[in-house]
Amino acid sequence: MKGLSASRFCFYVGFVVGTLSLYLFLRQVWFERSMELPVLGGVQGSSVAAVAKERQASVERAALINLNVPHRTGEYSRVADELYQKVRILCWVMTGPSNLQTKARHVKATWSRHCNVVVFMSSVDDPDFPTVGLGTGEGRDQLYWKTIRAFHYALEHHGNEADWFLKADDDTFVVVDNLRWVLSNHTPEEPLYFGKRFKPYAKQGYMSGGAGYVLSKEALRRFVEGFKTKVCTHTTSVEDLALGQCLEKMGVLAMDSRDTLQRETFHPFVPEHHLTGKFSKSFWYWKYCYYPIIEGPQCCSDLAVSFHYVDAELMYTLEYWTYHLRAYGYSYRYRPPLPQGLVERLAQTGRATVGAAGRGTVPAGIIVVGGGDQSKMEVVSYKGAVRGSKIPMDTNRTAVTQQGTAGILFGTKPNFHLSGI
């Protein structure tokens, strides 16, 4: 082929350059335009402001103090707020320098915001994260050392700011509000400890490290005392067992943390494993669990407190399921009564949050018995629902059944709300 003349050649080059550059330009413009559109998949701008407003935390030394319970819009959390004041929890998270960005960071962004105080315990000080440096090494054999030092640190620096002291791993997810519920009928002046109870090697059993465990203030004092008086020693690296044995020697009681239907609250595995997995009969778990294992949906309480082996994606997913996603208007099957101390406290403070607001009676409502092929309409009258009483639906019912449908009518004006759910 004859050689192209120089100007023709330049023309072709120019053509290609022009096409390419305009393509890139258009792509950029399109991209920016689509970002400007109120993106229906995510509300980015306003959410940042909302987050900044809600997270009122202060950093003190290496601890994060959460000043209030994070709230969703439209939510009434009087009971949660009361429990926040009454059942103060210090969460300390076992982590290490190499896990800060891969694991601890997600704990910081999710469940730890619901603790009264949270401290990230590492072998090394990190003022930016922040983490406390315990002056130990890293690795499995250092776990008990870290635990001992961490608890000592917590009592020494934050003993007055909390009543209960939770230890969790950086791959544990904890629903702190549910932990408060478990602890609400107990006093921190008693030597108690709660968690997922295992039975071997210790008379009263001991609590699984990964699923998280909680010591009362008195239990913590005794733990520290045990080391001072050399009753407890640090020769084993099996952290949870060693702790359990020390506490047993110091007269701390291993408690039953199950809910009122005997369902476990602390879980050593992820939800999917407990809810759908079948544990093979030779699996160690069967021999370890103090209480009978239930497989299937009743494995786990609605008010679950913890799960373990939770990766970053599952951390946020659990936070979404617990604190965000819900079925509108759904009346939960499991509705335990308010803790006794709380009922009195709420009634005392005068603001009626249980039963009718300021009134002795509540207007009648119509409820649909949902789902499936059965649909009957029940007329439930709430006459006589007294302030401070339990869920009205279970008392003073007069039911009228009818074929057909009805929707639920109730609380178009918020006259009451279901207590303590």
Region 390-409 residues binding other proteins, contact defined as CB under 8 A: 404-409
Our CB check for other proteins shows the closer of 10 and 231 to be: 10
Cα separation of 392 and 354, whole Å? 10
Tell me which of 137, 297, 337, 360 binds other proteins, using CB under 8 A: 297
> At closest approach, how far in Å is the CB of 101 from other proteins?
13
Our CB check for other proteins shows the closer of 14 and 135 to be: 14
Question: Which residue type does 155 have?
Answer: L
Q: Shortest CA distance to 305 belongs to which of 400, 160, 183?
A: 183
Antiparallel, parallel or unpaired: β 117-122 and 63-66: antiparallel
> At closest approach, how far in Å is the CB of 334 from other proteins?
7
Tokens found for residue 116: 């009264």
Cα separation of 388 and 70, whole Å? 25
Our CB check for other proteins shows the closer of 284 and 332 to be: 332
> DSSP readout, 78-145?
HHHHHHHHHS-EEEEEE--GGGIIIIIHHHHHTGGGGSSEEEEEESS-BTTTTEEE-S---SGGGHHH
Tokens found for residue 28: 């950029």
**How many other β-carbons are positioned within 10 Å of the β-carbon of residue 53?**
8
Is 3 a residue that touches other proteins (CB under 8 A)?
no
Is 313 a residue that touches other proteins (CB under 8 A)?
yes
Our CB check for other proteins shows the closer of 207 and 367 to be: 367
What character string, x for contact with other proteins (CB under 8 A) and - otherwise, covers 359-378? ----x-xxxxxxxxxxx---
> At closest approach, how far in Å is the CB of 259 from other proteins?
10
Contacts of 143 (CB under 8 A, 6+ apart): 94, 209, 237, 239
Footprint on residues 37-96 left by other proteins (CB under 8 A): 37-38, 40-44, 46-48, 50-51, 72, 74-83
Our CB check for other proteins shows the closer of 39 and 231 to be: 39
Radius of gyration of the chain (CA): 28
Which stretch in 107-115, 121-129, 150-158, 198-206 sits in contact with other proteins by CB under 8 A? Answer: 107-115
Footprint on residues 171-210 left by other proteins (CB under 8 A): 175-178, 180-181
Tell me which of 185, 298, 340, 402 binds other proteins, using CB under 8 A: 298
**Is the bond preceding 130 in cis, omega lying within 30 degrees of 0?**
yes
Which stretch in 18-26, 118-126, 151-159, 243-251 sits in contact with other proteins by CB under 8 A? Answer: 18-26
Footprint on residues 146-175 left by other proteins (CB under 8 A): 175
